[in-house]
Amino acid sequence: MPEKMRAMVLSKLGPVESNPLKITEIDRHEITYPKEMLVKIEACGVCHSQLHSIEGDWEDIGIPPTLPTVPGHEVVGKIIEVGSDVTKFKVGERVGITPLLSSCLNCQYCNEGKEYLCEKMDVTGESLKGGYTEYITVSEDFATKVPDAMKPEYAAPLFCAGITAYKAVKATEPKKNKKVAIFGIGGVGHMAIQFAKIEGCQVSAVSRKEKHLEVAKKLGADNVFVYSSNQKQFLQDVNEKHGLFDAAIVFAPVDEVTDTAIKSIKKGGLVVIATVGKIPNFLAFEEKTIRGTLIGSRKETYELYKMSPHR
């Protein structure tokens, strides 16, 4: 008889108010190959994109690909058992797992360090291997060491929201005094402000909510702008108070916001899209670049943990 574990299992998509996640006893994951490790989960972040997939918002883009699943893809825990070929980690160490649970490590994307684009990747929380449970197994190649001094509940959100923010900031080609605007100050955007400041950028935060802009200021944003659906007025406001931005990152999943972000940057500027949606009007002759971004690589996750404050 395999050991059991408790898990929040999603068998049918639906609004969270209808409690689609049911606590269920399922077979505990076991090590099945030599490089695999068994992790006892200490904390798992609650990511907004996970909420979208639970509620069925992303069904048309194939997320989640199968049911039932155990959602949760910002996982932190302690290693309690290692396979015979594990060399990078020891029992007792704390590790984290991003949405990238595994990839083939053999294709062009994997060889270029963009394993999150691998066609054969497995996503954490889109099978029975997710974070809203007690145990998970992971290859030593897809776990990142969490510093001992960092509390698991602080570390967990960095494994999706954090790496997404970090990579999106990197995608703006940040440098000292570059004027970077961040549209959408939520779970990801508030982290992007901090990473952009570390890079020396002049950061503008844009949100509909004054409360979020207060947080943005506390986190170091140099300028804040209240977003308005009156695009003309918003752009005029930006122009008068600040001037057009060099680059913008869009975290708000609203096409209208993307359109405004594209118009709020200078000619030749860069817009990084870190959300799902359509790109509205795009004028090629302004030589703007639109760049998509998705989580981050294992290397970038490692960099992120090295630079994050340990608490």
Taking the complex as a whole, how short is the minimal distance between the CB of residue 80 and Zn ion, in angstroms? 25
Q: Is 191 one of the binding residues for Zn ion (CB under 5 A)? A: no
Residue (107 or 254) nearer to Zn ion, CB? 107
Contact (Cβ atoms closer than 8 angstroms) between residue 247 and residue 270: yes
Q: What's the rounded Cα separation, in Å, for the pair 265 and 238?
A: 10
**Cβ closest to Zn ion, residue 122 vs residue 259:** 122
Strands 289-292 vs 265-273: parallel, antiparallel or unpaired: parallel
Size of the site for Zn ion (CB under 5 A): 8
Determine contact, residues 165/114, Cβ cutoff 8 Å: no
Q: Is the four-CA dihedral 245, 246, 252, 254 of positive or negative sign?
A: positive
Pattern 223-252, Zn ion, x by CB under 5 A: ------------------------------
By CB under 5 A, which span of 42-50, 132-140, 151-159, 231-239 interacts with Zn ion? 42-50
Structure tokens at 193: 């402000």
**β-strand partners of 288:** none
Is residue 49 a contact point for Zn ion (CB under 5 A)? yes
d(CA 121, CA 236): 44
Least separation, in Å, of the C-beta of 97 and Zn ion? 12
Q: Is 53 in the site for Zn ion (CB under 5 A)?
A: no
CB of 53 to Zn ion, least distance (A): 9
The 152-171 contact track toward Zn ion, x by CB under 5 A, reads --------x-----------
The least distance separating Zn ion from the CB of residue 157, rounded to whole angstroms, comes to 9
Least Å distance, CB 6 to Zn ion, is: 22
Cβ-contact 264, 235 below 8 angstroms:
yes
Residue 117: both structure tokens together: 């684009």
- Of these, 5, 47, 70, 205, which contacts Zn ion (CB under 5 A)? 47
Instruction: Compare residues 131 and 269 and give the one whose CB is closer to Zn ion.
Output: 131
Task: Report the nearest approach of Zn ion to the CB of residue 106 (Å).
Answer: 6
Query: Which strand (E) or helix (H) includes residue 138?
Result: strand 135-139
User: What is the Cα–Cα distance from 140 to 244, expressed in whole angstroms?
Assistant: 45
**Smallest distance, Zn ion to C-beta of residue 245, A:** 26
Binding to Zn ion, residues 91-120 (CB under 5 A): 103-104, 107, 110, 118
Report residue 308 as tokens.
């994050």
Identify the CA nearest to 62 among candidates 299, 304, 276.
276
Cα(149)–Cα(311) distance, integer angstroms: 6
The CB-of-250 to Zn ion minimum distance in angstroms stands at: 16
Task: Calculate ∠ Cα 124-130-134, nearest 5°.
Answer: 145
Pick 164 or 202: Cβ nearer Zn ion? 164
Residues that bind Zn ion (CB under 5 A): 47, 49, 103-104, 107, 110, 118, 160
